[in-house]
Amino acid sequence: MAADEPLVLGIETSCDETGVGIVHGTTLLADAVASSVDTHARFGGVVPEIASRAHLEAMVPTIERALRTAGISPKDLDGIAVTAGPGLAGALLVGVSAAKAYAYALGKPLYGVNHLASHICVDQLEHGRLPEPTMALLVSGGHSSLLLSSDITSDVRPMGATIDDAAGEAFDKIARVLDLGFPGGPVIDRLAREGDPAAIAFPRGLSGAKDPAYDFSFSGLKTAVARWIEAKRAAGEEVPVRDVAASFQEAVVDVLTRKAVRACKDEGVDHLMIGGGVAANSRLRALAQERCERAGIRLRVPRPGLCTDNGAMVAALGAEMVARNRTPSDLELSADSSLPVTDPHVPGAHGHSHDHDHVHEVSKENLYS
């Protein structure tokens, strides 16, 4: 770890995890997370207002815990990075406001970064520098995307995305139909290990010859599985939960890995990075490894704790911004719930503009008055 590598604190509040990470170059020093998932579980999904309030309560204690773990003083930092979007508007605002306050009080540069680009960059903390270009498959509750990046700080190109429900949403919905609780991903993964993935022939969305090569659709699969379960129950038959879980999961990961490997081949990229919360799924990892090996593609997947939303990924991208001398954000930085992945970060007003309606606009004067 070189002494001149940037020391950056990252804040992540795009959904229900209050994440604070501290990174020195590509070395992770602290990864503190306060989750409100248990609070949302009784509602069967994330409630934005509850998530925002939980972030408010957890923010300062989580930052202090990260600083203690890293054994550093705030004045030692070279920058503050924060998820500026995409995500839940109110949740994002809590993180952005906190980051602006810390940056202002400490006199440190502020970097508003993209949630999806951060999910790619986090792999540097485990497997070293990202190859350029990098092909990334991001799979989470809100996103299923194939992205090609030649520079994670400035150039991220969308190859394909979900045209309806993301993979993580489908896992949550099927878990609800099976009365397995929320979130659905971990419990379906666990049950699927005891089931037969070939027991039920569920559809593979957008996998026909004339369908878009890299886009994803899980709405039809979700409906097909729900109807299959309902038909069993209507007939008074027992639902084979483990076989349903395994067959549904196989339908999802089959499409994800097939399209990701195809994109690598088409673009001449000899490696694939998989990130996002669903990247913690054991079957997705295993099938991706199998298909990548067969195609001569190197697979990079961070450990499960770095796949779900966390502050370390934001700090990792922030450290890269500092290292590459990217323009910091200014204190008018806005939370943008629909920040496009083509904007890995939001530089100051003089360096950047885009047409998205900002959720929040605030001046230095009224923020700290």
Flag whether 172 is marked binding: yes
Flag whether 138 is marked binding: yes
Flag whether 8 is marked binding: no
Flag whether 189 is marked binding: yes
Beta bridge partners, 134, equal: 149
The percentage of the chain sitting over the pLDDT mark of 90, rounded to a whole number, equals 85
CA dihedral angle for residue 319, residue 141, residue 14, residue 186, rounded to 10 degrees: -80
Topology of domain 7-122+310-367, CATH: Nucleotidyltransferase; domain 5 (3.30.420)
> Is the pLDDT at 281 greater than 90, yes or no?
yes
What is the model's pLDDT at position 39? 77
CB 322 within 8 A of CB 109: yes
Flag whether 155 is marked binding: no
> Is the pLDDT at 111 greater than 90, yes or no?
yes
d(CA 258, CA 255): 5
Flag whether 343 is marked binding: no
Q: Confidence class of residue 364 from pLDDT cuts 50, 70 and 90?
A: very low
Q: Write the CATH number of the domain with boundaries 132-302.
A: 3.30.420.40
CB 2 within 8 A of CB 75: no
Asked, colleague to colleague, whether 7-122+310-367 and 132-302 share their fold, the answer is yes
3-state secondary structure of 350: coil
For the segment 75-86, what is each residue's pLDDT rounded down to a tens digit?
A: 999 999 999 999
Residue with tokens 């500026």, as numbered in its chain: 84
What is the model's pLDDT at position 217? 96
Q: What is this structure's pTM?
A: 0.90
Over residues 123-142, mean pLDDT: 94
Over residues 37-61, mean pLDDT: 84
What is the model's pLDDT at position 362? 35
Flag whether 140 is marked binding: yes
Flag whether 185 is marked binding: yes
* Average pLDDT value for the chain: 92
Over residues 342-354, mean pLDDT: 71
Flag whether 309 is marked binding: yes
Torsion over CA: 140, 146, 151, 156 (sign): negative
Over residues 125-142, mean pLDDT: 94
Q: Confidence class of residue 248 from pLDDT cuts 50, 70 and 90?
A: very high
Among 9-18, 137-146, 313-322, which is the least confidently predicted range? Answer: 137-146
d(CA 37, CA 247): 26
Residue with tokens 């195809």, as numbered in its chain: 262
b/e per residue 75-112 (b: at least 16 CB within 10 A) = eebbbbbbbbbbbbbbbbbbbbbbbbbbbeebebbbbb
Among 165, 190, 183, 171, residue whose Cα is nearest residue 283: 190
The percentage of the chain sitting over the pLDDT mark of 70, rounded to a whole number, equals 93
Flag whether 180 is marked binding: no
Domain spans of the chain?
7-122+310-367, 132-302
> Is the pLDDT at 197 greater than 60, yes or no?
yes
d(CA 261, CA 272): 8
Flag whether 119 is marked binding: yes
